[in-house]
Amino acid sequence: QGGGSAVIDMENMDDTSGSSFEDMGEMHQRMKEEEEEEAEGEAGAGEEEDGEFLGMKGLRGQLGRQVADQMWQVGERQASRAFSLYANIDILRPYFDVEPVQVRARLLESMIPVKMINFPQKIAGELYGPLMLVFTLVAILLHGMKTSDTIIREGTLMGTAIGTCFGYWLGVSSFMYFLAYLCNAQITMVQMLSLLGYGLFGHCITLFVTYNIHFHSLFYIFWLVVGGLSTLRMVAVLVSRTVGHTQRLILCGTLAALHMLFLLYLHFAYHKVVEGILDTLEGPNMLPFQRVARDIPIVSNAVLNTTAKAIALTL
C-alpha cells in the first residue's frame, strides 16, 4: 500500500508539474502579445506625431511630385509634337519620290494633247516636277529683268518673282479645284497642282526664247504654238474627267483663258508692273544704288578728335 500510494503521488506531481509548465508558457505568450500591442501603439502614436510635426515636409513632397508630373507631361507633349511633325513630313514624301526619267517623260507629255477623251486620263500625282518648273520660271523672270532696260534699285527682284509664280500656281490651282468641284469633275487637289505645274513648261520655253530674241512676232508664234499645246493638254485632261457639255465649257474655258493670259502678262506687263512698284516705293527720280568711296584717314582723324574731346571734358 505504501508503495502504491507513492506511485500515485508521483503521478499527481507529474500532472501538476505539466500543467504548471503549460500555464507558464501561456503567460509568456500573453506577455509577448501585450508587448507587441504596446509597441504597435507607440509606433502609431509616433507616426501621428511625426505627421503633425512634418506636415509641411509632406506638403512639399506632394508639390514636388506634382511639378515633376507636369514637367513629364510637357516633355511628352513636345515629343509627341516632334513625332507628329516627322510623320507629316513623311506623308509628303511620296509626292516627291520620282525618278528623273519619269519627270522628263511627263515634261514631253505636257506638250502633247490627248486624243482620247472618252475615259478619264491619268494625271501624275507628284509635285517634284511642278515645283522645279515654278522655280525655273522664277529664274527666267529674273533673267528677263536683267536683259531688259529695267533698273534694279537697292536689291534683287527675287521676292516679286517668287510671289508671282507661286501665287499663280497655288492660287489658280485652288480656284480651278473649287470650280471642278462645282462642275463635278473627277480630280483631286494634288492632281490639279501637278497638271497646272507641268502646264508651265510651255511658259518656260516661250519666255526663255523670247527674252533672248526680242521679236514680238516670234513671241506670238511661240505663244500660239508652245503655249497653246500645253493649254490643250490640260484642257483635254479636264474634258476627259468632266461630265456635261456646260460644265466642260465653263471649266476648260476658264483654265485656258487664265493660262494664256498669264503668259501674255509675264511677257508684256510684268516688267512694267514691277518697275511701277519700285517707283512707288522708292521714288521715280532716285538713282540706282551706288557704292561711295570713303576717305578712311579723314574718318579716322575725326574719330580720334571726337574721342580726345570727350576724354578732356570728362577729366
pLDDT (tens digit, 9 = 90+) per residue, 160-203? 889 899 999 999 999 999 999 998 888 999 999 999 999 999 99
Q: Count CA within 13 A, CB hemisphere, residue 5.
A: 2
38: left (phi over 0), alpha (psi -120 to 50) or beta: alpha
Q: Is 47 left (phi over 0), alpha (psi -120 to 50) or beta?
A: alpha
Q: Given the C-alpha cell 507631361, which residue does it identify?
A: 73
Cα–Cα distances (Å) from 195 to 114, 158, 180, in that order, read 13, 25, 13
Domain ranges of the chain: 100-281
Whole-number Å distance between alpha carbons of 182 and 185: 8
* CB count in 10 Å sphere of residue 200: 24
pLDDT in tens, 26-68: 666 677 677 777 666 555 555 444 444 445 556 666 777 777 7
pLDDT, residue 143, reads 84
Residue 290's pLDDT band, with cuts at 50, 70 and 90, is very low
Compute φ and ψ for 97, nearest 5 degrees.
-90, 90
d(C-alpha 140, C-alpha 269), whole Å: 15
Whether pLDDT at 206 is above 50: yes
pLDDT mean across residues, the chain = 75
What distance in Å separates the CA atoms of residue 91 and residue 94, rounded to the nearest whole number? 7
Query: Distance (Å, rounded) from C-alpha 176 to C-alpha 262?
Result: 15
